[in-house]
Copies of this chain bind each other. A is one copy, B any other.
Amino acid sequence: MSRFEIHSQLLQDCHRLGQLRLCHVLLHKNAAVPWLILVPETAPTGDLLDLPDQVRNMAMDEAAIAARFLKTEFAVSKINFAAIGNIVSQLHLHVVGRRATDPCWPAPVWGNLVDADGYSSARIAILTSTLTQNHLLKTF
């Protein structure tokens, strides 16, 4: 079996934080909203709702971990969750922390993201460390 590869567009848009049991965890570089993208190591394309139940439930468990992580680390009260994939067909799950004061609110982030600063290397290191300590993550 060939090595799993994350789509180049996702790698271009995101920092890699690490890996849960099923999913790779990416952090969108745009810090306007805290935005994690989970890429399950499953068949390279397809819909979340086409996955076998057990795999889908595992992906959703990990999305819930990502959601709790965002709520804790970024003090957001609301999570937007989506599996879209109209442009990047590789299955990936959006877990987006939202606040009524963020620059995209109340629109969804897709297609409405505004320019914003990125994360500092120090911030990324702290986020990776926290995620690793709490969720037995493999890091890169």
- In this complex, how many residues of chain A approach chain B with their Cβ under 8 Å: the count is 33
Q: A80-B86, A81-B83, A83-B81 are in contact. Are A56 and B60 (CB under 8 A)?
A: yes
Q: A53-B61, A60-B60 are in contact. Are A81 and B47 (CB under 8 A)?
A: yes
A112 sits at the interface (CB 8 A): yes
Dominant secondary structure of chain A at its interface with chain B: mixed
**Are B49 and A64 touching (Cβ within 8 A)?**
yes
**Are A47 and B78 touching (Cβ within 8 A)?**
yes
**Are A79 and B110 touching (Cβ within 8 A)?**
no
**Are B86 and A106 touching (Cβ within 8 A)?**
yes
Q: How far is the CA of A61 from the CA of B54 in the complex (A)?
A: 10
**Are A98 and B86 touching (Cβ within 8 A)?**
yes
Q: How far is the CA of A83 from the CA of B48 in the complex (A)?
A: 13
A50 sits at the interface (CB 8 A): yes
Sort A-B residue pairs by CB-CB distance and give the 5 closest, nearest first. Answer: A82-B82, A86-B106, A49-B67, A49-B64, A47-B79
21 contacts between A and B (CB under 8 A): A47-B79, A48-B79, A48-B81, A49-B64, A49-B79, A49-B95, A53-B57, A53-B61, A53-B64, A56-B60, A56-B64, A57-B57, A57-B60, A78-B85, A80-B82, A80-B86, A81-B82, A82-B83, A86-B105, A86-B106, A87-B106
